[in-house]
Chain A
Amino acid sequence: MNDFSKPVPVADSDSAPFWEGCRAHRLMIQRCGSCKTPRFPPMRTCPKCHSTETEWFKASGRGTVYSWIVVQHPVPREVYGQDVPYVVALIDLEEGVRMVSNVIGLDPHAIIGNMPVEVTFEEGQGGVVLPKFKPREA
């Protein structure tokens, strides 16, 4: 597997705490410092109350599979050829935000809608740690 060709997340002023959290195996989520509404992806201004006060909290890591796909045809082949089939999913965290990740640790065809999952962290190239999800007991 040629890990070095995969897209590496480039942290910015809004996302740095999220990626730092992943490196420490903590799933950090941003919320509005004023109305406390959690949001993902992170950004400076709250779309609900327009406050620019932000704070971060450690999410439980528990969620459910909102939707998922099984990638069979690798694009590009030289990067993902040895990874297929792999699962990409939209995960609804119990704190009320949705994020993209991979579901790992089971047969892709054993996944069902709204399945309970929990976060696990996978180390990749260049010091990047990605939050991934595995099945959990409901």
Chain B
Amino acid sequence: MFTLRDKYAIAGIGETAYTKNSGTTVLNLAVEACQKAADDAGVPVEEIDGIVSYNFGDSVPAIGVATALGIPNAGYAVDFAGGGNAANLITLTAAAAIEAGLAKSVLCFRAMNGRSGFRLGGGREFQARGITQYTAPFGWITYPQAMAMWCRRHMIEYGTTAEQLGSVAVTFRENASLNERAMQRERITMDDYMASRFIVEPFRMLDICLESDGACAVLVTKAEHARDLKHKPVYIMGGAYGGGPNQGEDLFDAIRWPDHSQNYAAYIADDLWRSAGVGPSDVDVAEIYDCFTYSVIMQLEGFGFCKPGEGGPFVASGAIKRDGSLPLNTHGGLLSEAYIHGLNHVLEAVRQLRGDAGPRQIADAEIALTTAGAMTCGSAMVLRA
């Protein structure tokens, strides 16, 4: 269990514009976001000695970014192989690395040309080797196809409906309409949702997140260091990573997963809340990994905001709106702001806890949950002002 409650903080955040075509390299995007995070904190790049990221072979190595930024000695430079599951994991390991003496200030970034370059949603390689030999030959190839299979099982077991999925899409787009950085800001109605075409049943176009070019970065330091910097620190209360047994041979593989109506969240929730010393009822705002509408429902159940099977009615009740009991994805999420693999959720949580979220600000937000991942493994953090 993560045992560093309140000892580390996010001291700076940075990001690029989110676009369909950045017109520049992934390296430049990464450098821009990292430089902005350092500047936001007021930490000279020369004082940064750690840099960590995650990618699917679609980004640039941490040492490359350290080199381009002019970091004198990146002593903790690590690239995780991962997708959305890793967004909080890298931030937690930054704290762990500092605690172990491997670094003092660590940049955590995610950078990609996810629309103009390598399109993750466009399918996987067509060499059906390894675990893929049991999936791809049957035309089971893309992540929307993968997650739709999980969603159907939830529908079989609990009667979850299209309208319930749609309430997630409509709510997050409403939030994005207040976010000038969001790629999709035009409000949608339930009729718009129901009229959007099926991509892979039960998913319609509006159940599926965006594809984006862009980068995000956060700077993690010791809490006492963060208190001397430019912004009010956002403290890491707790966190967890994992997903129990049978996580599979890669992020797509869930053949041996026992129950597709629940995901990683159900396995890491206890560790998460114990590490933070708070529970679901203490959360003021949550940024939940929404690569698909349905992944939100599974995580709300898994993290204990409602019981298994009640996620559909919960999201449809209005509880997840800005004026509801649990405001979710105030930036619009992966569905409407941008798909920066969940690190943009961490940036939004920091803004909310600083009180810097402008028209999207949740009043008196003191504790935020950020989650990352949708299927068999994932990570989550509890942050506080």
Query: B139, B199, B260 — which one has the most chain A CB atoms within 10 A of its CB?
Result: B139
Are A80's CB and B139's CB within 8 A?
A: yes
Are A98's CB and B200's CB within 8 A?
A: no
Q: Is A105 an interface residue (CB 8 A)?
A: no
- Which 10 pairs between the two chains have the least Cβ-Cβ distance? A113-B156, A9-B133, A7-B136, A7-B128, A70-B201, A67-B153, A73-B199, A69-B148, A72-B198, A88-B140
The 8 A CB mask of A50-72 against B (1 = contact, 0 = none) is 00000000000000001111111
A98 and B258 CA atoms in complex are apart in Å by 9
Q: Is A6 an interface residue (CB 8 A)?
A: yes
**Least CB separation from B254: chain A residue:** A90
Q: Is B64 an interface residue (CB 8 A)?
A: no
B42-50, B79-87, B119-127, B353-361 - interface stretch: B119-127
Are A7's CB and B141's CB within 8 A?
A: yes
The 8 A CB mask of B283-308 against A (1 = contact, 0 = none) is 00000000000000000000000000
7 of the cross-chain contacts (CB-CB < 8 Å) are: A8-B128, A8-B137, A10-B127, A68-B152, A90-B149, A100-B134, A100-B138
For chain A, give the interface size range.
35 or more
The 8 A CB mask of B129-168 against A (1 = contact, 0 = none) is 1111111111111100100111011011000000000000
Q: Tell me which residues across on chain B come within 8 A of A85, comparing CB atoms.
A: 201
Q: Tell me which residues across on chain A come within 8 A of B127, comparing CB atoms.
A: 7, 10
In the complex where A7-B141, A71-B145 touch, is A99 in contact with B255 (Cβ < 8 A)?
Answer: yes
For chain B, give the interface size range.
35 or more
Contact of A73 among B133, B200, B255, B260 (CB under 8 A): B200
Q: Tell me which residues across on chain B come within 8 A of A108, comparing CB atoms.
A: 201
In the complex where A7-B127, A68-B152, A73-B200 touch, is A100 in contact with B122 (Cβ < 8 A)?
Answer: no
Q: Tell me which residues across on chain B come within 8 A of A11, comparing CB atoms.
A: 133
Q: Tell me which residues across on chain B come within 8 A of A69, comparing CB atoms.
A: 145, 148-149, 152, 200-202
The 8 A CB mask of B179-210 against A (1 = contact, 0 = none) is 00000000000000000011111100000000
Are B145's CB and A88's CB within 8 A?
A: yes
A128 and B131 CA atoms in complex are apart in Å by 17
Q: Tell me which residues across on chain B come within 8 A of A7, comparing CB atoms.
A: 126-128, 132, 136-137, 141
Are A12's CB and B255's CB within 8 A?
A: no
The 8 A CB mask of A97-132 against B (1 = contact, 0 = none) is 011111000001000011000000000100010101
Are B141's CB and A75's CB within 8 A?
A: yes
Q: Tell me which residues across on chain A come within 8 A of B227, comparing CB atoms.
A: none
A10 and B135 CA atoms in complex are apart in Å by 12
**Least CB separation from A109: chain B residue:** B201
Are A67's CB and B130's CB within 8 A?
A: no
A102 and B141 CA atoms in complex are apart in Å by 13
A125 and B87 CA atoms in complex are apart in Å by 41
